[in-house]
Structure 1
Amino acid sequence: MTNVFAFDAKSFDTAQVDALFFAPARAFAALSVDFTEKLVAAQLEASRAYADTTLAQLRSLVEVKDAEGLKRYLEGQSQVAQDLTERVKGDADKVVALQQDFVEQSQKLTEGSVKQAQESAKQATETAVKAVKAAAPKAATKG
Structure 2
Amino acid sequence: MTNQTVNQINEQFETYFGAPARAFAELTISHVEALVNTQVEASKVYTELSLQQVRKALEIKQPQDVQGYIQGQQDVAKELTERFKGDAEKVVALNRQFAEEAQKLTQQNVQAASKAAGSAK
TM-score, normalised to structure 2, is: 0.94
1:53 is matched with 49
Max radius of gyration: which structure? 1
Q: Secondary structure at the match of 2:14?
A: helix
1:64 is matched with 60
Deviation at 1:9, TM superposition (A): 4.6
2:4, 2:96 → 1: CA distance? Answer: 44
User: Equivalent of 1:29, from 17, 25, 28?
Assistant: 25
Q: Secondary structure at the match of 1:64?
A: coil
Deviation at 1:8, TM superposition (A): 4.5
Matched, 1:17 2:1: no
Aligned-pair identity in percent equals 43
2:40, 2:92 → 1: CA distance? Answer: 16
Matched, 1:96 2:88: no
Which consecutive residues of structure 2, in runs of 5 or more, have no partner in the other structure? Answer: none
Which has the larger share of helix?
Answer: 2
1:111, 1:9 → 2: CA distance? Answer: 32
1:26, 1:122 → 2: CA distance? Answer: 25
Q: Deviations over 1:28-84 (max 9, x none)?
A: 000000000000000000011100000000000011000111110001111100000
Deviation at 1:16, TM superposition (A): 2.5
User: Equivalent of 2:107, from 99, 106, 111?
Assistant: 111
Question: Runs of at least 4 residues of structure 1 off by over 6 A?
Answer: none
The letter for the 2-side match of 1:86 is E
**RMSD (Å), alpha carbons:** 1.1
TM-score, normalised to structure 1, is: 0.80
